[in-house]
Chain A
Amino acid sequence: MIEDRQILRDIWDGRIPVCFTLSQDEYTSPDQPDVYYLLVPRLSYFPIVSDKVVRFFSQYVQPDTQGEMWLEFQGQPLKWHYPIGVLYDLYAADQDQLPWNVIVHFQKFPESELLRCGSRDAVESHFIATVKEADALKHRGVVMSGMQKRDHKQLWSGLRDDKFEEFWTINRRLMEQTVENQFRSIPFRIYQIEQPLIQKLFQPLHEDGKPATLKELLEQMLPSVLTPQPNNGGSRVLIQGIEPPLETPLVWLSEYMSHPDNFLHICITSRSLP
């Protein structure tokens, strides 16, 4: 639908204001280092946008002890391989405070929790592997394996360089559906704090041909989310920072609200009472 294309653009342009602060145990100078403000794309990954952050804070850090940069929010190491918007929705959105205060570390990399990211090649590799997995779910991997390598490169460079048209020229092939070629399964991941990630097979259409809804996905995967909890405002179901109506067809969400990796990332958080 032509009018839904604007949704793709709005999703693409989603931004989060971040305030990067150097961890106190990273510097010995009595003066507090400056903080670094950055408006970051929700769809991107921290290693893609943090070159300037590393350069900025390197002036305060001893060169001989400077290791790989890693990020933390309120004691939680941030997994760089999750899209930035997912990390924000999961750990910070319920507090509704902006900018997002992210702490920068260069020592004591928590290697039992975070993947190493020595270069942007690691991000590209992870991104393409995830798109391949999404395509395996939707089309048995036929679309990605039928592409040229330069098409994969264009998906990556479109995301890395924030070029919507460049990305969607290729990605529309991954979102195509015909009557004979429906998505076989919806690529989704459900995140909760301190809980295992949920990723299972889920068919987009019922046997009678009716489209399955977000509510039906949650009923099957996480029924507790739909039952009101005492003592709090219940759960929030966040996709791209908003709470879609639960009646929304899942295949539509997959087409329009997925991340560039072609996964629908769904964050379940608590609703804070005012």
Chain B
Amino acid sequence: MAGSISWNNFMEDVVKLQQHSNCISDSWQLISSTADPAQSYLCKKFQKLYRLPAISTTTMLPSDEQVIGWKIGDDEQSVGNCSAMTTTTWSHGDNKHIAQLCSCEYHVVYSASYGVPVAYFNLCRTNGCLLSLEEVWYLLPEEAARHDKWTFVTQQEHPVLARPFFQLHPCHTAAFMSRVGKSRNYVATWLSVIGSAIGLDVDLSYATLT
């Protein structure tokens, strides 16, 4: 099928990607299962500062929310942007924002149903609590808000770990990858396309794989 990838090619691509990651100390690891090789996946863990509303809430964000991309805590430009948008996005608490250190975990898992890689991720505060779906949406780039959030990123059961993870929905991956030109490494190309949408920086040197 155009735009999709077989399991074997997926494994070739992730092995090469992981090798390159080692060369540039980028922390991608290949997690393998001897019991079931089909349960292998790529994993990357790191810590990052995100600027988040100080008062957490489980209520839905207003539907007219504006989001302006992933907000890095040490970016002075984003401080102003956050201040400008607080009145329109949060209706609870005192609307202060705090730079919060988060433990980030990103996985690349093959989907046999769609024949494509799928991104799963979690962001945890230092106290171990997961960021909520609303907070993750808050951090999404503006382009995602043009789509229905509920068809873009939601919490799902991780297919290997059976634990809650956020998932970037895979149902359009084959379509957009079929419009990308030929690549010697589908996974590296796919990561460079979707990484920024979910707060994952992708080093430019991965382009040498594609």
Asked whether A136 lies within 8 Å of B171 as measured between CB atoms, the reply is: yes
A-B pairs under 8 A by CB, number: 72
Enumerate chain A residues within 8 angstroms of B169, measured Cβ to Cβ: 129
Q: Which of B119-172 contact A (CB under 8 A)?
A: 129-130, 132-134, 150-151, 154-157, 159-160, 162-164, 169, 171
Decide: B154 and A126 in contact? CB cutoff 8 A: yes
Distance of A129 Cα from B38 Cα, bound (Å) = 22
**B1 and A79 form a contact (CB under 8 A):** no
Contact status B154-A129, CB under 8 Å: yes
Question: Are A112 and B60 CB-contacts (below 8 A) given A137-B113, A140-B1?
Answer: no
How many chain A residues have a CB neighbour from B under 8 Å? Answer: 34
User: Bound state CA distance, A124 and B154, in angstroms?
Assistant: 11
Q: Which residue of B lies closest to A109 (CB)?
A: B58
- A249 within 8 A of partner (CB): no
For chain B, the bracket of interface size reads 20 to 34
Pairwise interchain contact A116-B164, C-beta atoms closer than 8 A: yes
Interface contact A129-B112, CB-CB below 8 Å: no
Q: B114 to A136, Cβ gap below 8 A?
A: yes
| Residues of chain A in range 91-132 having any CB-CB distance to chain B below 8 Å | 111-116, 118-119, 121-122, 124-126, 128-129, 132
Q: Which of A13-21, A157-165, A192-200, A210-218 contacts its partner?
A: A192-200
Q: Known contacts A112-B163, A116-B164: does B58 contact A121 (CB below 8 Å)?
A: no
Which B residues form the contact surface with A (CB < 8 A)? Answer: 1, 38-39, 58-60, 112-114, 129-130, 132-134, 150-151, 154-157, 159-160, 162-164, 169, 171, 174
Known: A128-B151, A129-B154. 13 other contacts (CB 8 A): A111-B130, A112-B164, A113-B163, A116-B58, A125-B151, A126-B156, A132-B171, A133-B171, A136-B113, A141-B114, A185-B113, A196-B162, A199-B113
